[in-house]
Each structure stands twice: as structure tokens, then as C-alpha cells.
Amino acid sequence: MTLRGVRSRGSVTVTSAFAGSLRDDPNGRAEFFALAGMGTGAD
């Protein structure tokens, strides 16, 4: 886990907010994350 402003080797911080169909459609959200290379978004 990382905190904002803290740089640590091998760490990644992702903040996301969804609106519209990405917020309401889990399949669309999973497709977006897959295309963005971020896994499924189900974590």
C-alpha cells in the first residue's frame, strides 16, 4: 500500500471515479480496465 506523496519502489497508487455507464455497468467497467491494462476492476 502507498500513500499519496510517498515514493516507494514498485508501488502504484490508482484513484478512480466513474460516472454514467461505467459506474452502473460492471461489464463495461471490466472492459475499460482490461483495455487500460489495469486488471478487471473487480478488486
Residue 28 confidence (pLDDT) = 86
Mean pLDDT, 10 residues at a time, the chain of 43 residues: 66 78 86 78 51
- Taking the model in full, what pTM does it have? 0.48
Cell numbers given for 36: 487500460
CB-based contact 42:30 (threshold 8 Å) = yes
Please tell me the predicted confidence (pLDDT) of residue 37.
80
Give me the pLDDT at residue 13, please: 73
User: What does the pLDDT read at residue 6?
Assistant: 66
Q: What is the per-residue pLDDT for 38?
A: 72
